[in-house]
């Protein structure tokens, strides 16, 4: 087959051939011959139509790529690993204890105070320090209370072995004792009715360590009975389930110990729970409530050792 040839026709006819003898300076006076080629024009028109389409496609790819990068970065940032449950050298709330005792960890039995609750309690200790501070139970913020009470006596009564290994005395005046609590929280209703009817549970029934009241803790270290306490904190045992040891004995015992002093502040934590609320009203009394914050109540007991009853009027009604 013959080769494919572009179909061209001149815009000016005939086609002139220039002789080589013509001088260069005269060539600009000759007419310019233009050629019109059908195939070449079609190609130019096709290219002009394709270029905008290509630009649109490239722009679309750029936008899609940008969106993919943005989504990938967002996914990677949201999937970062969470912080470990052990935090070293970090205070829950100031003031802080420096050194190894300031290592915090998450524990199933640990009791945690809110910032406002801890501020109320720490200010109470600051105003009384150095003082005699007795704490039933353990929360990591309480290590700071021991630091605040420098020069005073701080005693922890705990029922968890892990707490014993965690608490490290910051001075010779801070000590820790292991105490076993036997009465579960689901016995609270029965014990409260018995205590109201039993003269041995009255505040003036005699020395606590020889009491026959079922709510009295008679197996505590002797130093607990011998001291006059300025502040008593009740935050143990856990009492977080009906079967777990409840705080009925610790609240009752704290109320008896407080009545042997001149003016003792008794701090009860977790008063949003039924047992803590019932027994606080019964043995520490509404008229003695001096401040509160969140689930923390502060009662001030003033020289009521010879009193025959705990409160001016019962505030808890049980039928």
Measured between alpha carbons, how far is 118 from 173 in angstroms, rounded to an integer?
22
Tell me which CATH homologous superfamily contains domain 87-302: Vaccinia Virus protein VP39 (3.40.50.150)
This model's pTM is above 0.75: no
Q: What is the pLDDT of residue 152?
A: 94
Q: What is the DSSP code string of 134-164? A: EEEE--TTHHHHHHHTTTSEEEEEE--HHHH
Extract the tokens encoding 54. Answer: 């290509």
Measured between alpha carbons, how far is 277 from 216 in angstroms, rounded to an integer?
18
Q: What is the pLDDT of residue 100?
A: 37
Measured between alpha carbons, how far is 277 from 43 in angstroms, rounded to an integer?
93
Within 13 A of 241's CA, how many CA atoms are on the CB side?
Answer: 4
Q: Is 318 in a helix, a strand, or coil? A: coil
Q: What is the pLDDT of residue 86?
A: 26
Measured between alpha carbons, how far is 144 from 163 in angstroms, rounded to an integer?
15
Q: What is the pLDDT of residue 164?
A: 61
Q: What is the pLDDT of residue 166?
A: 62
Q: Tell me, what DSSP letter sits at residue 29?
A: G
Domain boundaries, the chain: 1-15+26-78, 87-302
Report mean pLDDT in 10-residue bins for the chain, 319 residues. Answer: 48 46 47 48 60 76 71 48 31 39 37 92 96 92 90 92 61 83 95 95 90 96 94 95 96 94 93 96 96 97 78 60
Cβ contact 107:162 at 8 Å: yes
């Amino acid at each position: 087959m013959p080769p494919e040839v572009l179909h061209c026709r001149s815009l000016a006819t005939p086609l002139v051939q220039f002789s080589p003898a013509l001088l260069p300076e005269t060539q600009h006076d000759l007419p310019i011959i233009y050629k019109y080629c059908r195939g070449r024009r079609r190609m130019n028109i096709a290219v002009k139509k394709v270029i905008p389409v290509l630009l649109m496609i490239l722009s679309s790819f750029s936008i899609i790529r940008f969106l993919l990068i943005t989504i990938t970065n967002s996914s990677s940032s949201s999937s970062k690993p969470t912080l470990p449950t052990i935090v070293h050298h970090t205070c829950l709330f100031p003031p802080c204890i420096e050194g190894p005792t300031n290592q915090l960890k998450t524990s199933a039995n640990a009791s945690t105070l809110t910032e406002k609750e801890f501020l109320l309690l720490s200010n109470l200790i600051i105003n009384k320090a150095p003082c005699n501070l007795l704490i039933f139970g353990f929360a990591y913020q309480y290590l700071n209370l021991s630091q605040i009470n420098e020069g005073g006596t701080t005693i922890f009564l705990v029922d968890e072995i892990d707490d014993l290994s965690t608490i490290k005395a910051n001075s010779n005046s801070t000590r820790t004792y292991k105490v076993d609590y036997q009465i579960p929280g689901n016995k609270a209703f029965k014990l409260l009715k018995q205590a109201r009817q039993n003269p041995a549970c009255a505040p003036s029934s005699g020395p606590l360590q020889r009491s026959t009241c079922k709510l009295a803790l008679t197996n505590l270290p002797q130093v607990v009975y011998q001291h006059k306490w300025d502040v008593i904190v009740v935050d143990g045992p856990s009492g977080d389930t009906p079967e777990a040891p409840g705080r009925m004995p610790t609240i009752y015992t704290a109320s008896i110990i407080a009545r042997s002093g001149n003016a003792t502040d008794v701090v009860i934590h977790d008063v949003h729970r039924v047992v803590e609320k019932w027994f606080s009203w019964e043995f520490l009394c509404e008229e003695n409530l001096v401040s509160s914050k969140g689930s923390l109540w502060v009662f001030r007991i003033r020289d009521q050792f010879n009193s025959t009853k705990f409160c001016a009027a019962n505030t808890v009604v049980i039928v």
